Amino acid sequence: MLLDAYAIIDEGVAVAVKAEEDELNAKLACREGCDNCCRFQGDIPLYPLELIGISWFATEKMTGLRRATLKKQLAGHGEGNPCPFLISGSCSIHLLRPVACRQFNVFYEPCDEGEDPYFTRRDDVLTPMQNYTDRAFSAMLPFYGIPDDADETRAVKNIIQTQALNLQSFDWKNLVKIMEDFDSRNSES
């Protein structure tokens, strides 16, 4: 479900970016290696299904020094810190980064150090295409126990969106414990 939702979001972002580039002659400023939003955004919505996906990925797929660094960052993470998943200037969970991270794109000029372009130059920030976002959240409905015949719009607004957590203020110490328990079980086998 989560990967299906992310595929829909990614498609919607690609369509929206192309439309901005074509219609406004806008040039995407976000590039590999830019981590401004990862260091300075304080309000990153994270949905329960995304939390499960990130937890699985961090616990079962990350290895070596990157995993050890992530555990240390998660254990010491506090509000006001950069995203705990930012390691050496790149997203350690890029494949499973949240919807909010996938949709946050800036045009024209790279962000200044510490800038939040959503407030300083809102017109340069991509506005996600609502139909893709709605489709993506609809793909997640079975996780929340929503029947197929439910009113999807109401379910998305009243159930999924009201359960959003803030990635930056979430207590990640429990994920560290899960990772350590996983390590202990696998070292015994």
pLDDT digits (tens, 9 = 90+) for 123-180: 999 999 999 998 999 899 888 888 766 677 777 777 777 889 999 999 999 999 999 9
- Give the predicted TM-score (pTM) of the model: 0.90
**pLDDT at position 158, please?**
72
Pairing assessment for the beta strands 45-46 and 165-166 based on DSSP bridges: antiparallel
Within-domain flag for 113: yes
Residue 28's beta-bridge partner residues? 107
Region 111-127: mean pLDDT is 94
Within-domain flag for 72: yes
Number of domains the chain contains = 1
**To the nearest 10°, the Cα dihedral for 114, 118, 29, 42?**
50
- Single out the residue of 43, 49, 36 nearest to residue 3, CA to CA: 49
Estimate to the nearest angstrom the gap between the alpha carbon of 73 and the chain centroid.
17
Region 99-127: mean pLDDT is 95
Residue 106's beta-bridge partner residues? 125
Within-domain flag for 189: no
Within-domain flag for 64: yes
Within-domain flag for 126: yes
With 80 as the cut, is the pLDDT of residue 83 above it? yes
Task: Return the H-helix or E-strand segment holding 165.
Answer: strand 165-166
Provide, rounded to the nearest whole percent, the portion of the chain with pLDDT above 70: 98
Within-domain flag for 6: yes
Judge residue 69's burial from the number of C-beta atoms within 10 Å of its C-beta, 0-12 exposed, 13-18 middle, 19 or more buried.
middle
Within-domain flag for 118: yes
Calpha distance 182→147 (Å, rounded) = 33
For residue 9, name the pLDDT band (cuts at 50, 70, 90): very high
**pLDDT at position 136, please?**
93
With 90 as the cut, is the pLDDT of residue 76 above it? yes
Within-domain flag for 48: yes
For residue 32, name the pLDDT band (cuts at 50, 70, 90): confident
Residue 165's beta-bridge partner residues? 46
**pLDDT at position 7, please?**
98
Full residue range of the structural domain in which residue 117 is found: 2-184
Calpha distance 30→73 (Å, rounded) = 25
**pLDDT at position 150, please?**
67
**pLDDT at position 22, please?**
94
**pLDDT at position 148, please?**
65
**pLDDT at position 63, please?**
94
